[in-house]
Amino acid sequence: MKKGSRVSWVYAGKRTFGKVVSANAGTRAKIKTASGGQVTRVGSKDDPIVKIISDSTGNEVLKKRSELRAAPPKKK
């Protein structure tokens, strides 16, 4: 996965889509939530953290690479 790729993951039992912002977030990454909180995800060398912008909310999301699948281009 590289920057700009469209990906999908399962959240709350539903498939969600987004665009990769940073494929090299490393083994530990932090983001601020819309409500002002902070989210930290910890990965590994074999399963690094990927930073994504969600299509449905527009918010940043942190996911492990193993949680993601390549997704088809967004329909217009």
Report pLDDT digits (tens) over 26-57.
889 999 988 889 999 999 999 999 999 999 99
**DSSP secondary structure of 3-66:** TT-EEEEEETTEEEEEEEEES---SEEEEE-TTS-EEEEE--SSS-EEEEEETTT--EEEEEGG
Would the pTM of this model clear 0.75, i.e. be above it? yes
How much of the chain, in percent, has pLDDT values that exceed 70? 100
Domain residue extents for the chain: 6-67
